[in-house]
Every structure is written in structure tokens, then in C-alpha cells.
Structure 1
């Protein structure tokens, strides 16, 4: 089964995925990225400002990019 690596990028830098995940096909790669982004946002957003962009860049075993997904959080105070 092929191995894919899920690097996480945000305003703090890039977290390299050194272990990766064995996934049967590209639809599973997409699903994994979709589940990963909200989990990261839930743990990182509270108390850390109102503007965040998280990107997952998925590469295959040869280092070729196969999928990218981005989640943007924008908070805005409406009180004056």
C-alpha cells in the first residue's frame, strides 16, 4: 500500500510529517486531509487571535505533491 505524507503549514511555519500514512487510494488521501484540518484548527485557534490559515500538503513516497487543502478561520468583532 502506498505511503502519503501530510505536511501542515500555518503562520508559524511547516510541520513535516516524517512517518506518513499508508492509504489505499487518492480518495482516502482526500478524506484524511479533510479530517485533519478541523482537528488542527480546534486545537490551535482558541486564544491565539482571529486570523488563521491552515494548509495540508500531501506528498507521495517520491516527494511529489498529490493533494492540497486549506482551511481559513476569520473572526471579527461586531461590537463597537
Structure 2
């Protein structure tokens, strides 16, 4: 089964050196979608009113195969 690596960009860059075995590209997308909210839950409270979390998935040869992102934007409504 092929192994894919899920690198995270959230203001800093975290390289995935372990990876996850996935049966197909749909499984790759599903893993990225599960990972994003987990990372965002930890990272959004640390930042300001604008935060982005991106997952870049690469295959065993280092080729990018999928990218997913979540963006948080907070806006004060009090004047």
C-alpha cells in the first residue's frame, strides 16, 4: 500500500516524516480532511484574527498529490 506524507503549514512548517498508508487518492483526501480541523483546533486560538492551516500531501516520491486548507477570520463588530 502506498505511503503519503501530510505536511502542515500553519504559520510554521511541519514536515511529516512518518506518513500514512492509503489505499487510494480518495483515502488521501479523507485523511487530509480529518487532519485539518484537528490542527486548526490547536492553532486558531494561538493566533490573531486571521489564521490559515494548509495540508500538503506528497507521495513516496515527493510529488505533491493533494492540498487542502482551512481559513479562520475573526471580525470585531463592536464600534
Same fold flag (TM > 0.5): yes
Is the partner of 1:4 in helix, strand or coil? Answer: strand
Q: For residue 70 of structure 1, what is the aligned residue in structure 2?
A: 69
Q: Which moved more, 1:26-35 or 1:44-53?
A: 44-53
Q: For residue 26 of structure 1, what is the aligned residue in structure 2?
A: 25
Structure 1 residues 12-71: Cα deviation after superposition (integer angstroms, max 9, x where no partner): x21000000001000000000011111111111124211101110000000000000011
RMSD of the alignment, in Å?
A: 0.9
| TM-score, length basis structure 1 | 0.94
| TM-score, length basis structure 2 | 0.95
Moved over 2 A (4+): none
Q: For residue 6 of structure 1, what is the aligned residue in structure 2?
A: 6
Unaligned runs of 5+ in 1: none
Distance 2:9 2:46 in 1: 19
